[in-house]
Structure 1
């Protein structure tokens, strides 16, 4: 019986060794140094070693902004044995020559510690092609660990060599996340791993289109931008939306026209999906995605887009603390329906279309610590309590890190910022302004209201609105990862990036342009407005040519609360307590009221993408 694999002993105090200090090797070294690990780079070239040290020295602080750790020490050496001495992880990034890689692993078998994990960063060779000169025990510690080009792309793909101990993968997934990378595990050996196989097919067909004279590079790139980037189209979801029977029909035409094999396309779909009635979004059996994972709004791509909007219930004909509703509203404002009623002052709202669920906060009865957080399918069914009433005080805006499957929300009277998983587990306090002292009238200065998160910048942002119409509102930020050894009430990475605001409420960030947007329900002339400011690469305020450090995009709202960016369509949606939903351009122009009803008071808002 094979013994269970155990993690390297004391790995946190042992170095990570990178073999090869070239363009990619030095970036991989910077990743691990930013997570607080000691890093040794090995390269026979003195110039490469010097350049690698310079790169890490100049960039490790920026990388560490995403990990929240104090950077670890780093050095570059010439000798292999010195580099891997006592290492818990060795990543080879030597030139793409199979003979050299095979010889490297043979040398590592004797030079590296016997519990050391040995990885190849190769982009073209499977690690199984490099292990002919090592024994079976060593083979169980070897895997592919392929990085792309940090820091622009922080993805790493992990893949077995055919013998790798299965327990290594969850361990390395956690260590990779610790270093602020996004790990993906290939289920089996595959030349090109996951993404490179996808990219190989795309570039092959693009070159064929150009060679056939069907189109030109500029038009192809333009169509890709509109369809897949601006349109946020993802391939497996798109096939389910189109219908797998239609996909098979189209592919069958290519099979006959080009003389292709149907084995992995038409035949695969027929055997595994079509014959079982799994046709995609149009049937209850699902398709590539299981039916429970399918967004309930997925339908005809030409269907009118929709919004989810929270009515807090305080302007209802018979207002009470449980008359809140969640409305589904078309973006032209012409039709709506209540999909959930009897909510206890709902305030924050967000949607994850991949899992097909919405998440919202309910403030509960004012003055009582009975706030709660819930989730449900997008049609309002399958309601799940994530944070029970009584755990938090007055939860407000809710924001999501979709990749990490984490929810962030502020607790107003609790003066805290929280985070938990999509299922409500791992609830943690990220920021605590006042501890257990909730009685002082001074705490209103520390009320936390709006929150948004930027995985790309490694930070989350929140508003502290101050007293009503008081003009002492502020916006803060902190690292997603709490600095090592620090607590929610004493962390030293909290920074106030804006102050003296009328009364800032909800926040949202556009990561590509590093633009932070927020609503303000304070007094005129600066309140009841939509605002924005620009951030630098570190996620802090970028100096602008205005005396106020931010730009007011539009005004004239009636107790402004919610906002939702629709970047592909260059729109922003806004709500107010006056019962109106608005739409404007990203620059604040062409503001229009798309829905209004006197007996409504709107808070959170989310966009349902067709």
Structure 2
């Protein structure tokens, strides 16, 4: 079970510790520009986080097409901050997952899903979406955001949220290994497992129950929600998801404590909400709110880490 949570504050460029009683403290005061995805290794007592990088300001708001994202790491208490991948190694680092000794992340404007070792070696694109031959940009419908790994089944899941409030979001699945003779650009094993979603963002896979959870920041009534659905068999499309909670103010990050039966969801209004995922779990509540903050990625830190 989780002892506490670590939450990325994109507005403050910081990592906040949120205790389960709602107490909030700062663990890392300077993460770098626009932190988004965070992962934790209980055995090594370390965290990693992606950075979206420095945006340009345009008529439509922040433009993250410049390739200046990166990947950093620290101990769970915020000490020993190190650069794993330097600025420019990623275009726009989004959700991050740690599985089987590797880091997996989505690169939104880069239109790709990538893997590396935890120390930043063997960087390998697993999925690469097409670019416009004239602009060199990835279409907004092909931008990758969320990511989750099923080590046992050797499957990779990711979201492509589509246009804002566009009801064109999708969740995809492919193998963890590119089929022989194929590439990240042309691999034949990619499946669309959910389509026509409002705007899916971050994923969480509970392999024990074969359940996929995701946040969605699209328009109501189906957007700005926390969703769950059973993982479909290979070759099958997912069933209509169950909405576990709604009315978030731009839902982003997601961490599920399967043992406790609670999901923790962050939103861009600086809130962390606890949502029951099964009968008998504690009721839904706002765990913490920090005015002026904007929360993105979140990860749960189990109690045993504190004792190691």
Give the TM-score normalised by the residue count of structure 2.
Answer: 0.90
| Bigger share in helix | 1
2:256 maps to which residue? Answer: 565
Higher RCO (CA < 8 A, seq sep 6+): 2
Distance 1:540 1:514 in 2: 14
Distance 1:378 1:340 in 2: 13
* CA offset digits 1:144-166 (Å, max 9, x no partner): xxxxxxxxxxxxxxxxxxxxxxx
Residues 1:606 and 2:299 aligned together: yes
- Partners of 2:131 and 2:138 within 8 A in 1: no
Residues 1:357 and 2:55 aligned together: no
CA positional deviation for 1:425 = 0.4
Distance 1:572 1:431 in 2: 28
2:61 maps to which residue? Answer: none
2:58 maps to which residue? Answer: none
CA positional deviation for 1:508 = 0.6
1:501 maps to which residue? Answer: 197
Distance 1:571 1:540 in 2: 28
| Bigger share in strand | 2
Q: The residue matched to 1:568 in structure 2 has which SS?
A: coil
Which structure has the larger Rg over C-alpha atoms? 1
Distance 1:442 1:334 in 2: 41
Q: The residue matched to 1:477 in structure 2 has which SS?
A: strand
Distance 2:32 2:188 in 1: 38
* CA offset digits 1:406-463 (Å, max 9, x no partner): 0100000011000000111000111010157583677111010000000112101000
Residues 1:396 and 2:85 aligned together: no
Distance 2:151 2:114 in 1: 16
CA positional deviation for 1:329 = 1.5
Q: Which segments of 5 or more consecutive residues in structure 2 lack a partner in the other structure?
A: 56-63, 304-308
1:375 maps to which residue? Answer: 73
Q: The residue matched to 1:460 in structure 2 has which SS?
A: strand
CA positional deviation for 1:338 = 3.6
Q: Which segments of 5 or more consecutive residues in structure 1 lack a partner in the other structure?
A: 1-230, 232-303, 314-322
RMSD of aligned residue pairs (Cα, Å): 1.9
Give the TM-score normalised by the residue count of structure 1.
Answer: 0.46
Distance 1:449 1:472 in 2: 14
2:83 maps to which residue? Answer: 385
Question: Cα 1:309–1:423, aligned 2, differ >3 Å: closer, same or farther?
Answer: same
Alignment match of 1:422 (pick from 96, 99, 118) = 118
Q: The residue matched to 2:227 in structure 1 has which SS?
A: strand
- Partners of 2:97 and 2:104 within 8 A in 1: yes
2:272 maps to which residue? Answer: 581
CA positional deviation for 1:526 = 0.6
Alignment match of 2:4 (pick from 285, 288, 306) = 306
* CA offset digits 1:458-503 (Å, max 9, x no partner): 1010000001111100000100111011000000001111110110
Q: The residue matched to 1:349 in structure 2 has which SS?
A: strand
2:170 maps to which residue? Answer: 474
Aligned residues: 292
2:60 maps to which residue? Answer: none
Alignment match of 1:331 (pick from 6, 10, 20) = 20
- Partners of 1:457 and 1:538 within 8 A in 2: no
Residues 1:552 and 2:248 aligned together: no
Q: The residue matched to 2:139 in structure 1 has which SS?
A: helix
* CA offset digits 1:361-388 (Å, max 9, x no partner): 0101123210001111112222222221
Distance 2:130 2:116 in 1: 21
Residues 1:516 and 2:212 aligned together: yes
